């Protein structure tokens, strides 16, 4: 486990391909890139946890297909415009504190990338997410038991329909196309 007790703005942090857990023990107010040791492996995964409520600006992932955000020990609030990766396929959200993506766009940045799936089925707190419909952006959301707020802000670039699955919470889904 790696603990980021300081802001790692402008840094690229190379981690193991899978099973790595990064603890965000400080707000991350700049751009932080996490890179897998082995390139272009579609099974690479990394997990990020918090020690308390954290403000996060821009996170980028190189060669990670799955990213897990665990808010069990503190809420996560994204203030930047980007949460992206060149292999990103799935974002898994867990925990009992809210995760607010604000204006952050979740996307796979590879040309002709498939849309990203956001799976919050294990969340017991709220998720706030805008789905913008751009190429490689999140088009599928699976909610948990928290009161989720999902906003669809543009037509889907892929031509596929959005898929939003609500679960036990009194979720709010808005369409602002």
pLDDT tens for residues 111-147? 788 899 999 999 999 999 999 888 899 999 999 999 9
Tens digit of each residue's pLDDT (9 = 90 or more) over 29-59: 999 999 999 876 788 999 999 999 999 999 9
Cα separation, 130 vs 120, in Å, equals 14
Q: How far apart are the first and last CA of the chain?
A: 42
In the block, tokens 């890179």 appear at 35
pTM of the model: 0.95
């Amino acid at each position: 486990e790696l603990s980021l007790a300081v802001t790692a703005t402008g840094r690229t942090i190379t981690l193991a391909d899978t099973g790595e857990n990064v603890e965000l023990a400080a707000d991350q107010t700049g751009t932080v890139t996490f890179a897998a040791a082995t390139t272009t492996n579609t099974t690479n995964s990394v997990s990020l946890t918090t020690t308390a409520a954290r403000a996060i600006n821009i996170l980028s992932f190189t060669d990670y297909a799955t990213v897990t955000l665990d808010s069990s020990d503190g809420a996560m609030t994204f203030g930047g415009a980007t949460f992206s990766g060149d292999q990103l396929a799935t974002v898994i959200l867990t925990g009992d504190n809210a995760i607010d993506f604000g204006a952050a766009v979740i996307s796979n940045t590879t040309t002709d990338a498939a849309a990203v799936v956001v799976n919050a089925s294990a969340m017991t707190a709220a998720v706030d997410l805008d789905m913008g419909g751009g190429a490689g952006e999140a088009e599928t959301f699976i909610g948990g038991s928290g009161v989720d707020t999902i906003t669809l802000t543009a037509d889907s670039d892929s031509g596929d329909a959005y898929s939003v699955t609500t679960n036990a919470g009194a979720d709010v889904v808005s369409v602002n196309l």
